[in-house]
Structure formats: structure tokens, C-alpha cells
Amino acid sequence: MATIKDVAKLAGVSTATVSRVINGKGEAAPETIEKIQKIVEELNYKPSSVAKSLSKRESNLIALLIPNLDNPFFSELVRTIEIAANKKGYQIYLCNSEDNREKVEYYLEAMADNYVMGAIINSLHVKEDDLERLEANGISTITIDRAQFSHAYSALAVDHIHGGYLATKHLIEVGGAKKIAFLSGPQDESSSQDRYQGYLRAVGEMDAEHIVKLYGAFDIQSGYETSYAYLANHPNIDGIVCSNDAMAYGVIRACADLGINIPQDIKVIGYDNTVNGKYSVPRLSTVSQFQPKLGDLIINELERVEKKNCKPKKYEVEPELVVRETTQKEKEIC
């Protein structure tokens, strides 16, 4: 029995294009439409009754595209969104791109093939053209956090400049840090750049000195290796602002191995408020950027646009400070 992939292969087009032509959605060149229709007839291809019903947006499947599962923030984000989706009777189709453009393209095609109702996108490698293609296929979209570009569709963005400012201001005001380092994620990561801007603003406003900007890869290993290499030769700093919790956990371990006491010798603050921060030694002060209730907001926005045919909305989230042991002043330690 012929499949939609057979038709696409013979026509030299994507399965998404075949789907649009068969369902009369979107635009294609007249010669492409004619070619696809001819192949469909020759192969006697007939979409299944299930596929037909799904193409009418009766699917209960929602695609969730994330950059990776190594960072605990994303695994917790998946769980939050899945709980919200399940409450509404939806299932999550998880797409782990591993921050790879080729994998992103594969999953974008797969979303159309699986007739998902909507797509939640968190990726630096998704372009506005990709969103337009999904929307043309009848798939409502909402971008969250990392996809911080201007587009015509639903979006939820975190004010990371404010988050970086909150973290740094707390480190200086409450922690008493004066000579501070910033541990960034990759240089091209926009949210990390925003956190750095907030950090610079706080340092500039207050009686503190920006010593160095270090780079990691948003994981524990890079946080450990980068901070260990620097602190082993530059013990003069008394505060580190980390772009995420994972790297902060690496910093905590590096300080332990170097005999540097937290928070007596150095104060450390993370970003994300992942669950492990409650149990690290010492417990990690951090910034919370994504509350559980936002999972409901994301699912509700997809439903609002898809089922009610409403105009997409933009949402901005204000991060919140979470104070624990890694930023306490020495006099507060019992």
C-alpha cells in the first residue's frame, strides 16, 4: 500500500507539501500540484481515515521541540508542559533536537506527517520560515524562551535582562560580593547574552567590579572545568553569577575541590531554579524563570488560537529571585 512518503519521494517534494496539496491547504506551484495529483492517482494513494480526521485538526497530539535533555531545566520544562497537556486530554510528541539544525528539520517534517494539533518550539535553530511552514500546514505554534525573534505567531518570552540584574544585585547587596565573575553559556546564545546585560547593569549601578566573563556550555562539566581553571589561578574574586543552575553545580564542586568555602570565601548564584538546587551542598540561590502555571498558559494559548481561531498573543514572563545558602553573608552562617 502506497504511503505519503512514497508520493513525496516520486514527486521530489516534502511530505508536508504533499499533505498541503491533498488537503487543499497552502500554496504550491501549479506544476507541482499537477505532478503530485498524477502520482497520487498512479499509486492509488488514499489517506487513511485516521489521517483524514487528524488533518481536520482533531488530533490530541502536541509537538514539543526542545534543544536537549542534558540540561535539567529542559527535562523539568517537558514535565511541566506534559502535565498541563494531559489535563486537557493532549499527548506530547517530544522532539529532542540536540541543538542540531538537521534534527530540527527532521522533526519539523515529522510534525506534519503526524498531524499534530500544535507545536511548542524552544530552539535557536528554528527560523521564522519554519513557523510559517507549520502554520501553513494547519499547525498552530507558540515559541518559548530561546526562540526570541519577532514573528506573527504566539510567543512566550522571559525577561532575562531583568533576571540577570536580579541575580547580580542580590549577590552584591545581600551577599556582599565586590569582585564578580560572570559564567556565560555559549557566545551565540541569546538568553545568556541577555543575562549578561542585566549583570553589567547591576555591577554598573552598585559598588562592585566586573572581573571576568567566562564561557561554558550550560552543563555541569563545563561549569566545573571553566571555574576550576580560573579560580585555581585567580582566587581574588568573591562572587560568581552563573547563566544556569547546571554550571553553578559545577562551580560548587570546583570550589570544594580547591578548598574554597561557599559562601564564606565566594558567593555563587545560578539561574533556572531546577529542583537539584534545593539539595546541593550548600543549597543554591538562583533565579526562577518558569513557573508550573506557565504550562497551562502555553497549552491554553494553543487551544485559543487553534480552536477559537483567535489572534496570537505575546506573553512576557518576569523571573523571580530564589534565595538559599550560596549567597548568605558569613555572619549569617551558624
Whole-angstrom distance, CA of residue 121 vs CA of residue 233: 41
| Average pLDDT of the residues in 132-140 | 86
User: Given this model, what pLDDT does residue 184 score?
Assistant: 98
Confidence of residue 48 (pLDDT cuts 50, 70, 90): low
**Selection from 260, 181, 238, 191 nearest residue 215 by Cα:** 181
- This prediction has a pTM of 0.79
**Domain map (residue ranges) of the chain:** 1-47, 160-289+321-332
Element (H, E) at 305: helix 293-307
Instruction: Quickly name the fold that domain 1-47 has.
Output: 434 Repressor (Amino-terminal Domain) (1.10.260)
Tens digits of residue pLDDT in 307-316: 777 889 999 9
Whole-angstrom distance, CA of residue 324 vs CA of residue 316: 26
Whole-angstrom distance, CA of residue 265 vs CA of residue 254: 13
Confidence of residue 255 (pLDDT cuts 50, 70, 90): very high
User: Given this model, what pLDDT does residue 26 score?
Assistant: 53
User: Given this model, what pLDDT does residue 47 score?
Assistant: 63
Confidence of residue 138 (pLDDT cuts 50, 70, 90): confident
User: Given this model, what pLDDT does residue 95 score?
Assistant: 97
**pLDDT(24) > 70:** no
**pLDDT(306) > 70:** yes
Instruction: Let me know if domain 160-289+321-332 sits in CATH 3.40.50.2300.
Output: yes
